[in-house]
Homo-oligomer: A and B are copies of this chain.
Amino acid sequence: MDLELIQSLVKQNQSKIVFLIMDGIGGLPRDEDGKTELEAAFTPHLDELAKDSVCGLQTPVSTAITPGSGPGHLGVFGYNPLKYQVGRGVLAANGIGFDLKEGDVAARGNFCTINNQDQVMDRRAGRISTEKNIDLCNLLNENISIPNVEVFVETVKEHRFLVVFRGENLSGKIKDTDPQEIGKKPLDPIVLDSSAEYTAGLVSRFISQAHMILKDEHPANMVLLRGFSQKPSWPLMKECFGLKSAAIAAYPMYRGVAKLIGMDVLETGQSIDEEFDTLEQHWDEYDYFYLHIKKTDSYGEDGDFEKKKAVIEEVDRQIPRLRALHPDVIVVTGDHSTPSKLKMHSWHPVPVLLWSKDCRKDSVDQFGERACILGGLGTRLPADDLIALALANANRLEKFGA
């Protein structure tokens, strides 16, 4: 989908669009009855909605590609994930809800183990506990001191942390310091662009100081940094699509991605019920709502077919609340598939339904992977076309040409 084309055609009205994203919704059939999680779930309300919708299967990134959570979501939001790529440092910040400012440089860090010739012996420092990680981050935060910049060291999990440099004239165009091999020394931060020389100097000082501060810690006596990056300045939802948009998501990662494209992130609770409460409370304030359901993916990754199915059923019970708000367009889909059979994200296309009063419904009467094959949206809809279709169905696009 061509953002500039859509942008040139956008018009305003009072319509409301809801994207209900069940993370990792797509699945694979179980042996006992050949049904996927979505097919096996009791979903009378989603099926009724599907009956009045145009359905299909969408491709979040590209055929055969297994999307990460960031690209999967950007696709559904209308941002081609191959074009709009986020640095890994920025993704790590999103993942823990760290509020990156314009100009900050973020990197992912590993605590690692080096020997007395400074060679890396374990890139993950024996996967230290998260508690130990917290202690080490505190130690670094208290002792690192670099003129003219603030440095934030934040625990992610086990051996993984986030480091953020905040100051003037910083650049993320720096290579990883992780040698990716045992027996090699950590690499110097090499610039990819001369504009990053100043920042590379700061990074060098950070690494040297970290080396000193951690030298008596074992096994986590050194740091490796990867994915230096800055918050991208992308066109925002409001500019591209004319939509005042809000994100309802319990997990920091998804709130972060929504922020990158200018959505307001609404305070909400951890339960699905509370997310729908939030939707109701803010209904009058926005044109577009992104409502994120995390647990479909979590149970998919756990390989728990039954619990993934149960989450889908829980969402289904909320559909009447959504419909009672009388949105003009409803899209229900996921950011990728996470079949519990595979216990991971997968490349399979994702079921999607789009409801509006003028959607030209097809003959699909069940919301499921195989039922959607026969839908009017086809089996290969690029995810980033969904927002354009939603705008068209909301009568928010002018005619192209005379």
Residues of A at under 8 Å CB distance from B? 1-2, 5-6, 9, 28-29, 36, 56-57, 61-71, 81-82, 85-86, 88, 91, 95, 339, 341-342, 344-349, 358, 360-363, 369-370, 373-382, 385, 388-389, 391-393, 397-402
Complex Cα distance, B88 from A232, in Å, reads 37
- Min Cβ gap A376→B in Å is 5
Contacts of A67 in B (CB 8 A): 399-401
CB–CB B2/A62 < 8 A: yes
Most buried by B among A1, A342, A369, A401: A401
Complex Cα distance, B399 from A67, in Å, reads 6
Q: Identify the closest chain B residue to A6 (Cβ).
A: B64
Q: Identify the closest chain B residue to A398 (Cβ).
A: B66
Complex Cα distance, B56 from A61, in Å, reads 20
Contacts of A380 in B (CB 8 A): 378, 380-381
Complex Cα distance, B62 from A385, in Å, reads 9
Q: Identify the closest chain B residue to A369 (Cβ).
A: B360
25 contacts between A and B (CB under 8 A): A28-B358, A57-B376, A63-B388, A63-B389, A64-B385, A64-B388, A67-B399, A68-B400, A68-B401, A68-B402, A69-B402, A71-B401, A81-B401, A88-B402, A347-B389, A360-B369, A362-B373, A363-B370, A363-B373, A370-B376, A374-B374, A376-B379, A378-B379, A380-B380, A380-B381
